[in-house]
Amino acid sequence: MHTTVDDIDVAYNTLGEATDPPVVLISGLGAQLTAWDDAFCEELVDRGLFVIRFDNRDVGLSSHLADRPASDPSAETAGAAPAACYTLAQMAADTAGLIDNLGLGSAHVVGISLGGMIAQILAIEHPERVRSLTSIMSTTGNDQVGRPTDAARALFLLPLVSTPEGAMDRAVLFNRTGGSPAYPTDETELRDRAARAFDRAFNPQGVVRQLAAAMTTPDRTKDLRRLDLPTLVIHGADDPVITVSGGQATAAAIPGAELVMIDGMGHDLPRPLWPTVAERIATLVARAQQQRPRSTSTSAS
């Protein structure tokens, strides 16, 4: 399915019953909606949630902004900020537009990595669209927290791949460097996921443009301190891509946020942790849903 938000065509799909509380899942850097595995989504559906997945701009079946210049991610190593042709705030506005177009009014928002940054900005700039916030393996935009290890940073400076085999090899390398040490993913599964993503839509320059948007986004800490909504922060204790201080800083900034650190988890969402993460999200949603009628009544009085 597709919808249009301003000049962006947004591809999305849904799982579950539309009468259940809606949960919008925001993918990470270069990740398509299919990165939220069907089985993980079913964990949420089984807990009474209506799941909406979508492709961010520049990935998957949403608009590819090929007419806009891509920056060089290695510019950071030269001490210069990369040029960005759009911002994470615009990506957050895409999400707000999707929620509006679907007639949801508002939704529970879950973002992972770059998607967590987008979810935070959505809560800051479009609070009327967000019932609760779950930020997974993300950070605040403060460059003093969540800093990647040298090995993880090197991953983002590798040349772009252009073939299915290259995409599969890169997926294995990323997972072996940044994945969960206590929950390793089988190489066959990694390669199969990468091949399916390549066949569905392949846009490596879009990943570069998304990365530029992330690298040029200012620190959100002060704005996060003004949020007033149920919030869950999940972070792997062994994440080398966005190290755990990023999640700790996020939870410290948002009043009342719950921080869940998972030992042995890196910068991925491994299959054995799906029930745990889904249950945490469902619990937050239930709490937010209980609070929502009271807040509506208060505002109307």
Domain segments of the chain: what residues? Answer: 2-150+204-300
Please say if the pLDDT value at position 210 is more than 90.
Answer: yes
Please say if the pLDDT value at position 3 is more than 70.
Answer: yes
Please say if the pLDDT value at position 135 is more than 80.
Answer: yes
Report angle CA 82, 84, 89 to the nearest 5 degrees. 130
Q: What number does CATH give the domain 2-150+204-300? A: 3.40.50.1820
Neighbours of 259 (CB within 10 A): 17
Please say if the pLDDT value at position 13 is more than 80.
Answer: yes
Please tell me the predicted confidence (pLDDT) of residue 134: 98
Please say if the pLDDT value at position 113 is more than 50.
Answer: yes
Percent of the chain with pLDDT over 70: 92
Section 83-99 average pLDDT: 95
Nearest to 277 by CA among 41, 113, 9, 32: 41
For residue 210, give every residue at least 6 positions away whose Cβ sits within 8 Å of its Cβ, in sequence order, or none: 29, 30, 56, 58, 59, 91, 114
| Distances from the Cα of 142 to the Cα of 59, 104, 189, 233, angstroms | 26, 32, 34, 16
pLDDT, tens only, 255-269? 999 999 999 999 999
pLDDT bucket at 83, cuts 50 / 70 / 90: confident
Please tell me the predicted confidence (pLDDT) of residue 68: 62
Torsional sign, CA 40, 45, 47, 52: positive
Question: For the chain, how far is it from start to end, CA to CA, in angstroms?
Answer: 39
Please tell me the predicted confidence (pLDDT) of residue 292: 73
Report angle CA 218, 63, 155 to the nearest 5 degrees. 55
Please say if the pLDDT value at position 204 is more than 50.
Answer: yes
pLDDT bucket at 291, cuts 50 / 70 / 90: confident
Residue 161 token pair: 């791949």
pTM higher than the cut 0.85:
yes
